[in-house]
Copies of this chain bind each other. A is one copy, B any other.
Amino acid sequence: MKDFEERNPLNWLFLPESVSKDDNVVATYVLETSPDTDILSKSFAIAVEQSTGTWIEVPAETPELRKHHMAKVIGIYELPFVEDTPPTDFRHFLIKIAFPLVNFGAQFPMLLTTVVGNISSAGKIKLVDLEFPLDFLKSMPGPKFGIQGIRDLLGVYDRPLLNNMIKPCTGFPPEVGAKLFYEVASGGVDIVKDDELLANPPFNPIEKRVKSYMEMAKRVYEETGNKVLYTVNITDEPDKLIENAYKAIEAGANALMINFLTAGFSSLKALAENKDINVPILGHPDFGGAISSSPWHGIGSPLLLGKFPRIAGADLIILLSPYGKFPVLRDRYLQTARAMTSPLETIKQTFPMPAGGMYPGIVEATLKDLGTDCIISAGGAIHGHPMGPRAGAKALRQAIEAYMNGIPIEEAGKEHPELNSALKAWGYWKGGERKLFDLL
């Protein structure tokens, strides 16, 4: 009798109030199940499998051990929330499970193993949120600089920033990149970043690239008074990564960049925690689609590409735009941006960098969505501008300025040949027609 009672899934379904938010990481999943699946048992099985137990009771899994270490199911919600007749084809659930923090601690590998490890092979289940206790967040570095720190470094407070990724992506020597750097920086970009595909190849090694680019940054500052951050891509294996960072900083780099998914959150975290690295870190989300794109598998993008890299320490994160070249759902884009900027206990705000087919004609829609604490990030629209890269940068600054002054982009185009040329080349989209406050 007692055994049955303890193994009864009902006894492991708890009200949310019953778990301490200080001691547990609360995971939210969406699931699709067959109509004959018992969701209570399935949720319980997930909680057991990902904490203390397995498919059969084992002697050492004592009640005492379970009490402190077994995960608890604290929410099961069906959509639609039917009360009598369930759907006959499949059923959709959102479930919430509280995992005792003591089981894995404030680190990424064991966190991921716990919340999305083996169960990632347990059918249609996707992790869509994690709520962290304060102790966990306090152990995470978060951004060293964040939005405010980046603005302080650049001395720019009254407008969105402009970032440029050098194009072509890779295959060129430092001298070629330096020339492009000089052009775009002269045109008014605040940040220049490497493409994610260029890190430390023999034809363009980090030290040489940093030196030649930073020389251009210095020249532009002397000529215009504009400061420019250069985020050099140091992505590499863990041991090489820190070495690359030191090399880059010694060569004069004032910012770093890492492809955080291919390098791993732990590597981003290691950079952010390192006291000898005192420059902003840009996080690039390539590989994200492999983990987030499926509706029923992997990890949702707001968590994977927003909250995770933010707590791991990214000061700036590339965010694929729904108005550009990738098929990105606007909802998810907005949620991901907000995961970077919403208040989060002790963790600073990360600068969202909308990118991926950014051009002047979608600046207005982007800023209406995200507000002005974001970094317009363009590659092709600058280096492929009909009048050249410097004009490309200028056109984007003009688009930003028009928005800040409340001037319609087509009006601003009449005043500025660079912007006019861009609008003629790629058109513009009045994203502003989209209502931002839909009434009930």
A129 and B92 contacting across the interface, CB-CB below 8 Å: no
- Find chain B residues with CB under 8 A from A81 CB: 30, 126, 128, 295-296, 300
* A440 vs B125: C-alpha distance when bound (angstroms): 11
Is A390 close to B, CB under 8 A? Answer: no
* A126 vs B118: C-alpha distance when bound (angstroms): 33
* Chain A binding surface SS class: mixed
Is A77 close to B, CB under 8 A? Answer: yes
Is A412 close to B, CB under 8 A? Answer: no
- Which residue of the partner chain, among B55, B86, B437, contacts A45 with CB atoms under 8 Å? B437
Q: How many A residues face the partner with a CB closer than 8 A? A: 93
* A366 vs B234: C-alpha distance when bound (angstroms): 61
- Which residue of the partner chain, among B26, B55, B307, contacts A15 with CB atoms under 8 Å? B307
Looking across the interface, which residue of chain B has its beta carbon closest to that of A75?
B129
- Shortest A114–chain B CB gap in Å is 15
Interface code A293-330, partner B: CB below 8 Å = 1, 0 otherwise? 11110001100000100000000000000000001110
B17 and A137 contacting across the interface, CB-CB below 8 Å: yes
- Number of copies of this chain in the oligomer? 2
Is A10 close to B, CB under 8 A? Answer: yes
Looking across the interface, which residue of chain B has its beta carbon closest to that of A13?
B338
B335 and A76 contacting across the interface, CB-CB below 8 Å: yes
A329 and B85 contacting across the interface, CB-CB below 8 Å: yes
Is A344 close to B, CB under 8 A? Answer: yes
* A434 vs B37: C-alpha distance when bound (angstroms): 10
Q: Are A338 and B292 CB-contacts (below 8 A) given A38-B435, A81-B128, A327-B84?
A: no
Residues from 1 to 31 in A contacting B, C-beta threshold 8 Å:
1, 4-5, 7-11, 13-18, 21, 26, 28, 30
* A184 vs B424: C-alpha distance when bound (angstroms): 89
Looking across the interface, which residue of chain B has its beta carbon closest to that of A296?
B80
Is A131 close to B, CB under 8 A? Answer: yes
* Stretch of A147-155, A167-175, A260-268, A367-375 lying at the B interface: A367-375
In the complex, given contacts A41-B436, A77-B128, A83-B301, what are 16 additional A-B residue pairs having Cβ atoms less than 8 angstroms apart?
A5-B371, A5-B372, A7-B437, A11-B371, A17-B132, A17-B344, A17-B345, A30-B80, A32-B80, A39-B331, A45-B440, A78-B331, A80-B296, A81-B296, A81-B300, A83-B295
A interface, CB within 8 angstroms of B = 1, 4-5, 7-11, 13-18, 21, 26, 28, 30, 32, 37-42, 44-46, 49, 55, 75-86, 92-94, 118-119, 122-123, 126, 128-129, 131-132, 134, 137, 289, 292-296, 300-301, 307, 327-329, 331-332, 334-335, 337-339, 342-345, 368-372, 404, 406, 434-440
- 6 A-B interface contacts by CB (under 8 A): A13-B342, A15-B342, A38-B438, A77-B128, A79-B79, A84-B293
